[in-house]
Every structure is written in structure tokens, then in C-alpha cells.
Amino acid sequence: MAIERTMAEKGKAAERKNSEGEGMSDREERLEQALRRIIEWAGAYPQEAFVPPTPGECEVAHNALVRLGMSLDKFSSHAMRHCLMGAKKIAEEALNDH
């Protein structure tokens, strides 16, 4: 899904200023929007709602999975890969959107 912007959003891009006080180009605006999407996505699982496991809980989960012939590393790496691939997709869309 390409980053879509309406004509009004494109007009706002001309009004936005970069760090040098100059108007932002369409590319700069696209890249900024992509960064903001990644930041928003990073806040999707706040620690207040999804309390991180303690080291003891990780050990218990690891031992339980090992007894079943699996590994906690397999699940951890899968979750990290999913997150990084999502961020990669957002960045690629912004970089490749002409």
C-alpha cells in the first residue's frame, strides 16, 4: 500500500518547514510521514498494558517450551522479524513512492 496523500495534504507539505526553515519537499514530507508511522506503530504495545515478563517468567517459559521440543528464541526472533519487516515496509514505501 503506497502512502497516499490528498491534494490538501500536498498543500500542507508546501507550508511545512524543514530544520533549515525552508519549505519541505514532497519527498521530505513522505519520509517524515513514514517516520511518524513507525513511531506510532512502536507505541502499539505499551508496557503499562503489556507488562514485560520477568527473567524468572522467561526461564519458566523457556523450560516449558524446551520440554515440548521448541525454543523461546524461535518465538522471540519471529516477533522481532515481524516488527522489523513492518518498519522496513513503511520505509520502502516512502523511499520508493515517486
Q: According to the model, what pLDDT value does residue 82 have?
A: 95
Per-residue pLDDT at 22:
75
Joined together, the cell numbers standing for residue 83 give 516488527
Helix-strand-coil percent breakdown of the chain, rounded to 5? 65, 0, 35
pLDDT tens per residue, range 29-43: 999 999 999 999 999
Provide the whole-model pTM.
0.64
pLDDT along the chain (98 residues), means of 10: 47 59 87 95 92 96 96 94 95 87
Residues 6+ apart with CB under 8 A from 95: 31, 34
Domain ranges of the chain: 7-96
* The residue to which cell 522496513 is assigned: 88
